[in-house]
Amino acid sequence: MDDAFVRPVQDILKHFDVSENKGLSAEGVEAQRKQFGPNALPEEPPTPLWELILEQFKDQLVLILLGSAAVSFVLAIFEGGEGWTAFVDPAVILTILILNAVVGVSQESSAEKAIAALQEYSANEAKVVRDGITKRVKADDLVPGDIVVIAVGDRVPADCRLLSVQSNSFSVDQSILTGESESVGKDTKAIKDKDAVKQDQVNMLFSGTTVVTGHAHAVVVLTGPNTAIGDIHDSITSQISQPTPLKEKLNDFGDTLAKVITVICIVVWLINIQHFNDPAHGGWTKGAIYYLKIAVSLGVAAIPEGLAVVITTCLALGTRKMAAKNAVVRSLPSVETLGSCSVICSDKTGTITTNQMSVNKIVFI
């Protein structure tokens, strides 16, 4: 019910076929749950390990290193007389790439575990009236039509329409939604403006907000992804990630490097065409292969094998320092993005602070 704030209390109760004193019956709860599902935001499944590993090899510079390792390996096969020493170069490059992937995967997987652990901390409960009995249930079990009892200090478990206030005043902290640190006074009167924004819907209680003063009864009208906080969740998850400035520069550098190395290899090989028939090579074909190996070896030597792992290590060290300050970073490039910020504009208290005063020292006089 998206228009609950413009409808009077009796219309809301009639719509859900429920009374404030009795609440929903057990059968009514099951019917609503089948229709609307649980009162929970959809959780994104954890990223599979293979996907995390592949993500580490999508960098342009890493792809160039992979290509150079493959070429070095092919050339090592033709170096029959050198034995295992011919495989040193490709082995070193692959080792560097593996170390780079291990650092990236370990950081991102640990960040996902930390975020999942934070989500499991809250055992959200709600006081609800069902079959005329007031009891506590998990917030996930709430359905549209449930009558909830809310008092000061409680976190609103779903989007609710206020039914009655059992105190002189009733106000809610909605900074989680609006960024406004000032608590909003609530009442039960219907609102005439159908286009009223969340801050002006004074007869609505929104999921995730906190009751500051008062005691009231309300009816659940929206649950899970249909709530206001669910809309925010959808807008965040639907955002298309853009490459960071460092990522763009590294990709440009990788493209330029690949073109330059390719040109150098071709030029070096073409310059030595006149030496292909040198008797020392044992024929034109063997001479062509010999100078091809020289050209490719020159190109592989020009690739900065350590650059990728150095960048990953530096970003990982940045995430460690942020973790020490209780800031969890899911993606390594996010560290570089935050470091690129020169000015951060924030909407006052309640956005980057907790909007809660605390006592640091007590002085007795």
Domain architecture of the chain: domains with CATH: 4-39+142-236 (2.70.150.10), 49-118+240-339 (1.20.1110.10)
Maximum mean pLDDT: which of 85-89, 303-307, 359-363: 359-363
pTM greater than 0.75 (yes/no): no
As a whole number of angstroms, the distance between CA 44 and CA 298 comes to 46
Mean pLDDT of 266-285: 84
Average pLDDT of span 309-338: 75
Q: Tokens 């910020």, residue? A: 341
**Among candidate residues 65, 89, 86, the one with its CA nearest the CA of residue 76:** 86
The whole-number pLDDT of residue 114 equals 63
Residue-level pLDDT at 123 = 43
Confidence of residue 121 (pLDDT cuts 50, 70, 90): very low
* Mean pLDDT to the nearest integer, 186-215: 89
pLDDT of 122: 44
For 277-298, what is the mean pLDDT? 80
Region of 307 (left: φ > 0; alpha: ψ -120 to 50; beta: rest) is: alpha
Run of H or E residues at 264: helix 245-271
Evaluate if residue 216 carries a pLDDT over 90. yes
Residues in the chain: 365
- Average pLDDT, integer, range 276-291: 80
Give percent of the chain with pLDDT exceeding 90: 18
**Is residue 334's pLDDT more than 50?**
yes
Residues with active-site annotation: 347
* pLDDT higher than 60, residue 357: yes
- What pLDDT does 80 receive? 57
